[in-house]
Amino acid sequence: MRGGDCVIRSGGGMVLVEFHELPGWHFSARVIAEGLYEVMAVDGRGRRVSCQGTESLAAIDGCLRAAAGIEAVDVRGVSQLDPRRLHGAARS
């Protein structure tokens, strides 16, 4: 699935997301326990950030903002994206 702000792929129990505002960063989201999500991001230089939470979008947003902080980039965050795209992909 491709949106205006990100590219979303799902498979193998994970959702992979690439945000256009952070080229080179690859985000993966997965359910680690019932109602608990883990999001990890890594860039081409091997830098990593991760977030966990009970809400998938909040975990993605936290990880996105942490990666943006490393890059010193101002991002709109997941809350500004079309939530139907993210929720649909997360349930695949």
pLDDT at 84: 47
pLDDT at 89: 42
pLDDT tens for the 92 residues of the chain, in order:
334 477 778 777 788 888 888 889 999 999 999 989 999 999 998 999 999 999 988 898 899 989 988 888 656 555 554 444 444 444 33
Sign of the C-alpha dihedral, residues 63, 24, 27, 19? Answer: positive
* Whole-structure pTM value: 0.69
Split into its structural domains, the chain has a count of 1
Domain that holds residue 56: 6-86
Buried b (16+ CB within 10 A) or exposed e, 56-65: bbbbbbbbbb
